């Protein structure tokens, strides 16, 4: 039995024993008992209120179905933490893949640009050797005239 201190006026229709005005004596719900040791000790200590107790036994089975125990709550929290860790790992792996792709793309672009620049440089050098530039072309003609001697007969002496 437990003594609860409440107002008597709010309990008019309930069947309780009144020890004194302002005090209501009511019975406690039965509790589920978990034995600390295996065996039939549970039956010995079943009525002992100081024995290890768990939650109240609910009369309605429906309430029990929708009840979440502390272990289930801890398990759900642990699973949510694991899921968050996995999501973070996936995001970091995706970031690494993007960085690798970007670096590979940059390398390919730099190699391609280098080749294009090299081909352009070679093309410009080749054209400049053959006198695309007007000054270089005049210089080349002067050198060729100096190396060849034209005669009236049409013979040409040149250095090969």
Most confident of 30-44, 76-90, 95-109: 76-90
Question: Reading across the β-sheet that carries 17-20, which strands appear in turn?
Answer: 2-5, 23-26, 17-20
Pairing of strands 23-26, 149-150: unpaired
Domain ranges of the chain: 2-65
pLDDT digits (tens, 9 = 90+) for 122-132: 555 555 555 45
The answer to whether the beta carbons of residues 129 and 139 sit under 8 Å apart is no
pLDDT digits (tens, 9 = 90+) for 5-41: 444 444 444 444 545 555 544 444 444 555 455 455 5
Distance between CA atoms of 118 and 121, rounded to whole angstroms?
Answer: 5
End-to-end CA separation in angstroms for the chain: 129
């Amino acid at each position: 039995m437990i003594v609860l201190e409440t107002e008597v006026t709010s309990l008019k229709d309930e069947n309780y024993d009144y020890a004194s005005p302002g005090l209501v004596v009511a019975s406690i719900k039965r509790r589920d008992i978990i034995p600390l040791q295996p065996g039939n000790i549970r039956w010995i200590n079943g009525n002992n209120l100081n024995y290890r107790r768990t939650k109240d036994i609910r009369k309605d089975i429906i309430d029990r179905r929708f009840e979440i125990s502390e272990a289930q709550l801890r398990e759900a929290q642990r699973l949510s933490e694991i899921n968050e860790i996995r999501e973070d790992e996936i995001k970091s792996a995706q970031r690494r893949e993007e960085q690798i792709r970007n670096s590979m793309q940059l390398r390919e672009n730099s190699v391609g640009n280098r080749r294009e620049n090299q081909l352009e440089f070679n093309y410009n050098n080749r054209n400049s050797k053959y006198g695309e530039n007007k000054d270089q072309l005049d210089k080349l003609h002067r050198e060729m005239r100096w190396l060849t001697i034209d005669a009236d007969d049409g013979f040409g002496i040149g250095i090969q």
